[in-house]
Amino acid sequence: MSTELTTTTAPGDDRQGRRRGIGRGRSGDRPARKAQRRREALDTRVAGESRGAVRTVLAHVGVVIAAVLFALPLVYAFFSALKPNTEVFSMPPRLLASEVRWSNFADVFSYGPFTTYITNSFFVATAGTLVVLVVSTTAGYAFGRLRWPGRDLVFVLFLATLMVPQEVLVVPMFILMQWFGWVDSYQSLIFPFAFTAFGTFLMRQFFRGIPYELDEAARVDGAGAFRAFAQIILPLAKPAVAVLAVFTFLSFWNSYLWPLITVVDYDAHGTLPIGLASFSGQNGTRWDLQMAAAIISMIPTTILVIALQKHLVKGIATAGLGGR
Amino acid sequence: MPTPAMLTARPRRRRVSGLKKAETRQALGFISPALAGLALFTVIPVVVSIVMSLHNWPAFGERSFAGFDNYRNLFTQHPDFWPALRNSAVFTLLYVPINLVVALALALSLSPRIRGRGAFRVLFFIPVVTPIVANALVWKMLLQPQGLFNGVSVSLFDIQLPNFLAHPQWAMIMVVVMSVWQGMGYNMLIFSAALEQLPTSVVEAARIDGARGWRMIRSVVLPMLSPAIFFATVMTIITSLQVFAQPQLLTGGGPGNATMPLVQFIYNQGFKFQDLGLAASAAWVLFVLIIMVTAVQFKAQKRWVHYEH
Amino acid sequence: MRITTTTATATALAAVMLAACGSDDGDGGDDSSSGTSSIVWDMWAGSEEDTAFLNDTLEIVRAENPDIDVQLQTAPWNDYFTKLTTNLSAGNVACVTSMNGQRLSSYAEAFMPLTPEDLETAGLSEDDFVDGALDIMTHDGQLYGLPFDVATMLVYYNKDMFADSGAPEPQIGWSFEDFESAAQSVSTDDHKGFGIGMAEFQWMSLPIAMSGKQPVDEEGNLALTDPDFVDAATWYAGLVTEQEVAAPPPSASETGWGETEYAAGNVAMAVDGTWNAVTYLNNDTGFAAGMTNLPAGDAGSTALVLGSGYGIAADCADKEAALQVLGSLLGKDAQDAMASSGRSYPARAESQPLYFESLDDAVRDEVQAAFEAAFADVEGQRSTDDWDQVNTAIQPQLVSVYTGQAGMGDMLEQVQQQFGN
């Protein structure tokens, strides 16, 4: 496994990438391959040119149908958040209930300490993302750009930890938190799952695609590895860092099982996902408020995705995740 | 974190091996935060959980060493373990291909000629960021006999749909459908990125040569996307073997144990029945399974993944 | 940097050794080093309203025990037991921990058995509680805590639907024939007559009432295959599959199917606990809710007493202080407050009338009559050590039974085989 992994994930040494710049264009246009493609393509030359317009229309229709199917549950969720609790499950289902209750969105905040949940989620997700960024970029640099004995072996071990299911670790992790005296603290929400290998993996992939001369010169000059990392490599890595930041933020924001276990005092350290569960009680569930709360909790992440949509796609492309 | 001064203050005698040593030292400096964190927050809990799996370890009360009894119990006695393993396998076999095909199809259709493709991408990605509690609730409302799907079907076509979530096979299919809806956006984004990255020269050359439509996709685009498809496949299989929240909230693992995957089994044993030893041992079976499947994928990739360099 | 790795390895080894010993018993989350002792009280609560009520109770307890630092800690009902399990496994249980009587058997070991002297320390006496209430927190003949509320199952019905259909409303002391004919005559094309149950006593109560048999025999053995109980349970499933007066739940995750349907005004009757009486009376859907006791079977009316209570954690460092807090939580003031808030029907006998006084004049007499009839001859609920697991195994199977894919008898037989020995 280890050798395969290295070949798939270590294209950085081949210097072709240099010509086109970072991380892109290494897909090669060697003459032999090109000729082969041409031969293959020859067979289908009969295809007419005039179908282009029809295709464009068809493509739009297809995408719109898919979009409607995809949006349907979301739309339904939104309208459910506007219903009185007892009509959420009314038969047959209706989009609009007997009344439109915008007040559900306000009631969410008076039902429980929802503002605290939001603030905590923000704080924990932001702090956790920062930790992940620092840890992943430095480790990714060591794996991707420095040569040291045992590097590939350690990296495979790193990757193996990606495969450990979180449910396995929850109880031992909780015992660990007790040894640290971290139960019911912000530390316990931020650190335990901030060291997963995904970020390191992603940053390593990206760093390998950067031409070696760029920082090698700096390091030999005596600028030092850290300065080479901070001043040359890191600025080039912005798109990949942005991708990692978004994915990390999302996973912290939606994390459920671990906060459920480690948070004792909901009023102080509760986060949004476990706050959502508090709408279910012994006397039934406030579905209306739960839906409204879910919609509210989607707002920040959706804005994040909309704002960074273009950069996300570019970032993934340049991070070497998409290509290889 | 070592300071730059620390790292550069090394004398530059015996250049080559000295540099190598310096580089090793620098690497250790860079990697130590990750290594320390991983040791503390992954290695220790992992080791503890191995120890737990070898013990009769109730949540409270006497713990005793049990050797491999938990594992033996799982494979030979427990009535829910094999079904859970089977369900995880079925889910993975259904979910991964559907997820990849839908994600790829959408990424391909969102070509530059589509207007507002950015908006569509966001739309297809939003379920990824939606709280699973809300997703499950909405899907239940859509799928139940008095729900939207059956309602529409009866009023338009006069066809009564099955009671999806209470039927052993349909329940699994619907868990898969909902999971695809929810998780596909991530892969779509990766494929979109890979598509943007295709060198225009190759695509243009193929176009000039007359490659169009399906032919173009099959013989030009897909081979060039194969590294991205490989990455997405590996990650998607790992996550689908770890599926938990979707069946837990949508079907409760039922009817019977028809949709209970391995992780839900683990959760039930540990947190509902307080048998942490058995839960840990089942978790290790899952871990070994994931490692094996991933290793096989890496072995098999040579046959179909084209790295162009 | 190498030091880091070595330290990590050493820590890991230490962790293994510590874990292998398995004797890291916690101190119950309190330290009594600082003069005044500190006691944590763990309770389930969801809404701000729940928490506000508990805080009022906390004030009562603090006022009665000025020398003890009492802290309240809460988790939503659905997550309470998951968190409790984690806390137990880590030896971090609150000294005063709330427990639901039906779940006690799984958690009994975590609690300190209470002796008559302990009750005295707490300032309580067995006579303070209504008859049978102590059974709630009793397991294997041993008292593990004291109840704060008592409950039993009732049949709730939608008066509007009965009025529409012209069928007579259920009456106290009704029989199963009355129940069947009510369910049939109130069923229409628009709605079913009965909401079928999924949770343990929401579904088991009618079979138990009909057969007069609990699914656990008097020796404490699982008795799911008792012929009388099987017959009654089969009849119950037949309400969906044969008489078609109830609709099957759409998913095994609908653990509150029948009750939710009733509350939403989609069915005319459902079985649920007395703890929800006030919720149903004030239902948002706007129908007039009625309630009566379970129908009587051939063996008479058989109902179980259910409820919740507080226990002292087995490893609580300051038992004395914990008992005093327990005494205040179940004292007259706290129980009166609970009763007059209408939140729960208190276990303390003298506080019970206040519960009815909190109700609206229009329904008070009816509710009181239903409660009195339902509690008239209740018996303690018997359970096995793995009762929780039995129910967890049954629940997803019930869906298959209700949809006709499996027989009730076969299902009970299978579960009996799995857990019976």
Q: Do A174 and C89 touch (CB under 8 A)?
A: yes
Q: What is the pTM of this model?
A: 0.80
Against chain B, the chains showing at least 3 CB pairs within 8 Å are A, C
Bridging pattern class, strands C138-139 and C153-158: unpaired
Contacts of A108 in chain C (CB under 8 A): none
For Cα atoms C402, B156, C268, give the angle at the middle one, nearest 5 degrees: 40
Residue B131 pLDDT: 79
- Whole-angstrom distance, CA of residue B180 vs CA of residue B174: 10
Between chains, do C90 and A175 touch, taking CB under 8 Å as contact?
yes
What integer is the mean pLDDT of B91-96?
A: 96
Write down how long chain B is. Answer: 309
The β-bridge relationship of strands C96-100 and C303-312 is: antiparallel
Domain extents for chain A?
53-101, 107-324
Q: What is the mean pLDDT of residues C230-253?
A: 92
Give whole-number Cα distances, C2 to B25, B210, C5, C9, C381, in Å. Answer: 10, 60, 5, 11, 61
Give C71's strand partners: C40
CA A47/CA C190 separation, integer angstroms: 58
Q: How far apart are CA C330 and CA C346, in angstroms?
A: 9
Query: Is residue C270 a contact partner of residue C262, using CB atoms and an 8 Å limit?
Result: yes
Q: In the predicted model, is pLDDT for residue A128 greater than 90?
A: yes
| Mean pLDDT across chain C | 86
Check CB contact under 8 Å for B59 and C8. Answer: no
- The two structure tokens encoding residue A248: 């990390």
How many Å apart are CA B67 and CA B69, to the nearest integer?
6
Q: Which residue of B has its CA nearest to C417?
A: B79
CB-nearest to B35 from C4, C12, C249 is C4
Contact partners, residue A7, CB within 8 Å, separation at least 6? B307
Instruction: Decide if A86 and C76 are in contact by the 8 Å CB cutoff.
Output: no
Query: Can you read off the two tokens belonging to residue A147?
Result: 């040569």
Is there a contact between C249 and B166 if contact means CB atoms under 8 Å apart? yes
Report pLDDT digits (tens) over C91-146: 788 999 999 988 898 888 889 999 999 999 999 999 999 988 998 999 888 999 99
Q: Give the A window 253-282 contacts with C, CB below 8 Å.
A: 260-261, 264-267, 274, 277-282
Nearest 5°: phi and psi at C138? -105, 135
Q: Which residues of chain C make contact with B61, given a CB cutoff of 8 A?
A: 109
How many Å lie between the alpha carbon of C79 and the closest alpha carbon of chain A?
8
β-bridge partners, A44? none
Cβ neighbours, 10 Å, residue A13: 9
In A, minimum Cα distance to C49 occurs at A111
Please give the interface size between A and B, counted as residue pairs whose CB atoms are below 8 Å apart: 357
Q: What is the DSSP string of A126-151?
A: HHHHHHHHHHHHHHHHHHHH---TTH
For residue A233, how far is the Cα from the chain centroid? 22
How many whole angstroms separate alpha carbon A213 and alpha carbon B36? 30
Q: Which amino acid is at A102?
A: W
Q: How far apart are CA B167 and CA B171, in angstroms?
A: 6
Q: Does A287 touch chain B (CB under 8 A)?
A: yes
- Mean pLDDT for A43-55 is 55
pLDDT of the residue at C294: 94
Q: What is the pLDDT of residue A322?
A: 52
Contacts for A46-53 with beta carbons within 8 Å, 24 or more apart? A46/B210, A47/B210, A47/B212, A47/B213, A47/B215
Contact (CB, 8 A) for A236 and A211 = no
- Confidence at residue C57, expressed as pLDDT on a 0 to 100 scale: 93
Mutate to test the interface with B, among C1, C196, C244, C411 (most CBs of B within 10 A): C1
> How far apart, in whole angstroms, are the C-alpha atoms of residue A234 and residue C212?
75
- pLDDT, position A321: 59
A223 to chain B, any CB pair closer than 8 A? The answer is yes
> Can you list the domains of chain C with their CATH numbers?
26-150+307-362 (3.40.190.10), 153-305+373-419 (3.40.190.10)
Nearest CB to A93 within list B148, B192, B230: B148
pLDDT of residue A291: 85
Of A122-136, B102-116, C20-34, where does the model show the most confidence?
A122-136
Contact C402, C249 (CB under 8 A): yes
Report domain extents, chain B.
Answer: 4-53, 72-304
CA neighbor of A266 nearest in space, from C61, C41, C313, C46: C46
| CA–CA separation, C48 and C204 (whole Å) | 33
Rounded CA-CA distance A56/A164 in Å is 45
Interatomic CA distance for residues C68 and C63, integer angstroms: 10
Residue C131, amino acid: D
Q: Which residues, other chains included, contact B140 with Cβ-Cβ below 8 Å and sequence gap of 6+?
A: B147, B165, B250, C250, C251, C253, C254
CB contact under 8 A, B30 and A277: no
Let me know: does A197 contact A159? Beta carbons within 8 Å. Answer: yes
Q: How far apart are CA C84 and CA C100, in angstroms?
A: 12
Q: B72-304 architecture in CATH? A: Orthogonal Bundle (1.10)
Total Cβ atoms within 10 A of residue C33? 8
Question: What confidence tier does C381 reach under pLDDT thresholds 50, 70, 90?
Answer: confident
Question: What six digits make up the tokens of B84?
Answer: 């859970």
Interface of A with B in 37-56 (CB under 8 A): 37-38, 40-47, 55-56
Residues of chain A with C-beta less than 8 angstroms from the C-beta of C74: 266
User: What residues in B contact A154, CB-CB < 8 Å?
Assistant: 31
For tokens 């109880």, the residue is A171
Q: Work out the number of other CB atoms within 10 angstroms of the CB of residue C194.
A: 30
B149 touches chain A (CB under 8 A): no
CA distances from A159 to B28, B38, C228, C418 (A): 18, 11, 58, 40
Quote the ipTM score: 0.76
Q: Per-residue pLDDT tens for B52-68?
A: 899 988 877 778 888 89
Tokens, residue B20: 């190598």
pLDDT score, position A162: 79
Which segments of C143-275 does DSSP mark as H helices, in order? 159-165, 176-186, 200-211, 227-241, 257-263
DSSP B13-79: -SHHHHHHHHHHHHHHHHHHHHHHHHIIIIIHHHHHHHHHHTEE-BSSS--EE-TTHHHHIIIII-T
Q: Which C-chain residues 377-416 have CB contacts (< 8 A) with chain B?
A: 386, 388-389, 392, 395-397, 399-400, 402-403, 405-406
Structure tokens at C359: 């109700």
Q: Is the pLDDT of residue C47 over 70?
A: yes
Give the residue, A218 or B278, on which the prediction is more confident: B278
Inspect the interface and report whether the beta carbons of C4 and B256 lie closer than 8 Å: no
Burial of B17 (0-12, 13-18, 19+ CB in 10 A): exposed
pLDDT band at B99 (very low <50, low <70, confident <90, very high): very high
- Is residue A284 within 8 angstroms of chain C, CB to CB? yes
Q: Which residues pair with C114 in a beta bridge?
A: none
B106 vs A63: CB contact, 8 Å cut-off?
yes
User: Do residues B123 and A67 make contact, with C-beta atoms less than 8 angstroms apart?
Assistant: yes
Query: Does any CB of chain C come closer than 8 Å to the CB of residue A54?
Result: no
Residues of B in contact with A147 (CB under 8 A): 20, 23-24, 27
Most A-contacting residue of C48, C102, C148, C275 (CB-CB within 10 A), to test interface: C48
Q: Which residue has the tokens 């039906």?
A: C102
Give the C window 231-250 contacts with B, CB below 8 Å: 247-250
Pick the CATH number of A107-324 from 3.40.190.290, 1.20.140.10, 3.20.20.80, 1.10.3720.10: 1.10.3720.10
Asked whether the CA dihedral C130, C134, C136, C141 is positive or negative, the reply is: negative
